[in-house]
């Protein structure tokens, strides 16, 4: 059991090192144009692409990276199971919600006006 704990500790230490390297790669990729302003554009694009690709690859080798990739994969599978409404259903639902919103706003406006008139009648103040 102690050896398993040591293995987990070494994995987490390795992951921390990889995360630091990934963050450093991404920062370098974003600042590459500023760091090397005289380089050829083709070299810049190739270098930045390579750094981002390497950062993504290293990201997928960490424990958290594997969990995130698995989450994204499962989410995509769930998105395929969703039954999306047709255009007609979406249009009808939108119109119903708009109509109910309009009716409720008119009712609340009327109730507010009525309450203001009642309060102004009771207090004798004009609004």
- pLDDT tens-place values along the chain, 127 residues long: 566 666 667 777 888 888 898 899 889 888 887 887 888 888 888 888 999 999 999 988 888 889 999 999 999 999 999 998 999 999 999 999 999 999 999 999 999 999 999 999 898 877 6
Distance between CA atoms of residues 32 and 49, nearest Å: 11
Q: How many CA atoms lie within 13 A of 5 on its CB side?
A: 2
Distance between CA atoms of residues 122 and 127, nearest Å: 12
Q: Where are the alpha helices (DSSP H) in the chain?
A: 2-35, 41-60, 63-81, 87-123
Spell out the domain ranges in the chain: 1-82, 83-127
Categorise residue 124: left if φ over 0, alpha if ψ from -120 to 50, beta otherwise: left
* pLDDT score for 88: 96
* pLDDT score for 29: 85
pTM: 0.53
Distance between CA atoms of residues 10 and 16, nearest Å: 10
Instruction: Please identify which residue in the block is written with the tokens 């958290």.
Output: 64
């Amino acid at each position: 059991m102690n050896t398993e704990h040591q293995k987990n500790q070494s994995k987490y230490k390795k992951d921390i090192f990889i995360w630091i390297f990934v963050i450093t790669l991404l920062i370098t990729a974003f600042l590459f144009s500023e760091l090397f302003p005289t380089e050829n554009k083709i070299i810049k694009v190739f270098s930045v692409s390579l750094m981002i690709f390497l950062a993504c690859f290293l990201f997928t080798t960490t424990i958290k990276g594997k969990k995130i990739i698995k989450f994204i994969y499962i989410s995509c599978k769930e998105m395929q199971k969703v039954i999306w409404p047709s255009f007609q259903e979406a249009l009808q639902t939108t119109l119903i919600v708009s109509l109910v919103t309009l009716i409720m706003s008119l009712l609340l406006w009327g109730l507010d006006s009525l309450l203001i008139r009642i309060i102004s009648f009771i207090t004798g103040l004009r609004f």
